Amino acid sequence: MPGDDGETVGGSSERAVLARILGALRGSSRALVGPGDDAAVLAAPDGRVVVTTDTLVHGPDFRLAWSSGRDLGFKAAAVNLADIAAMGARPTALFVALAAPEATRLRFLEDLATGLREACDELAPVCAVEGGDLTVSDTLTVAVTAVGVLDGREPVLRSGARPGDVVAVAGALGQAARGLAVLFDRFRDDLGEPVPVDLAALSPDERAALTAQLRPSPPIALGPVAADAGATALMDVSDGLVLDATRMAEASGVTIALENPGDPLALSGGEDHALLATFPAGVPLPEGFRPAGVVVPRGAHSVTVGGTPPVGRGGWDPYQDWDAHRG
């Protein structure tokens, strides 16, 4: 790697590792007290905060042969920012806990921090990494906690969908799953082990799908926009449209009748982190949202697609699908 001095986590002190990481992060955004003390102090203008956390573990969640440090940092931030947006809130801070093997290069951790910063700059410009933790582990693990504020609005829950509402989606559906298929189909050796990606071997469409998988770009700004437009329910599509719509329908006690998009991956593919919302009939959909179905009274099935029940779970379940992605 150009500029890599070869220093590793095992050959450095915690202070040195932290200095390298903080050097790649921009300064604190709007925290009253940012990185450097025992804890951060954040402002909560209306007395409420929205908090979420997500963990990426080497193996089931990412492969170092496929993900650069910058891509991994970007994705770790993006998946958490999407959960804040899915409450109708605005992300304001990230806290990142890193557990890294001793052989991990410090340059890789710098790149990961750069990816975290780039995600905040691109997706949530007032958000920044305000603290975290470092430790050593046999398995590289990135755990991110995101904090957001509601700016006076009420949180939009997944349990608010009502019969007659219009179902709408913002963001891509199926692209990240297509990218994952490219990785597993094209970049494994004869034993099934991941090998580095050769971008020159990919078509433009394949490269776009790969970017959607390794460096997702969810419509974070549209979460508060949906809330202000009167969304009755809202959630992040992380595990596939059918599976996440099922969760929304069951929480709301309704059936969600989805249109058939024609692309199976748009229904079952996960990790795009699109936003799924319901709006009262007659309310203009905010720019960036497109209609995807309607909410009807609860029937025999939580979700239908084109008038019929979906086949299978319709999405990703890490407890049932992880074995299929080993290799």
Rounded to whole angstroms, the Cα distance separating 94 from 147 reads 6
**Greatest alpha-carbon span in the chain:** 62
Q: Is 323 annotated as a binding residue?
A: no
Q: Is 47 annotated as a binding residue?
A: no
Q: Is 83 annotated as a binding residue?
A: yes
Q: Is 69 annotated as a binding residue?
A: no
Q: Is 271 annotated as a binding residue?
A: yes
Q: Is 53 annotated as a binding residue?
A: yes
Q: Is 151 annotated as a binding residue?
A: no
Q: Is residue 298 within 8 Å of residue 253, measured between CB atoms?
A: yes
Q: Which residues of 130-144 are buried (b: 16+ CB within 10 A; e: fewer)?
A: bbbebeeeeebbbbb
Q: Is 61 annotated as a binding residue?
A: yes
Q: Is 158 annotated as a binding residue?
A: yes
Q: Which residues of 145-165 are buried (b: 16+ CB within 10 A; e: fewer)?
A: bbbbbbeeeeebbbbbbeeeb
Which amino acid belongs to residue 243?
L
Q: Which tokens is 223 given?
A: 């979460």
Rounded to whole angstroms, the Cα distance separating 169 from 296 reads 17
Q: Is 239 annotated as a binding residue?
A: yes
Q: Are strands 141-149 and 166-170 parallel, antiparallel or unpaired?
A: unpaired
Rounded to whole angstroms, the Cα distance separating 264 from 100 reads 37
Q: Which tokens is 206 given?
A: 């394949």
Binding site members for Mg(2+): 38, 52-54, 83, 133, 236, 239
Binding site members for substrate: 61, 271, 316
Binding site members: 38, 52-54, 61, 83, 132-133, 158, 236, 238-239, 271, 316
Binding site members for ATP: 132-133, 158, 238
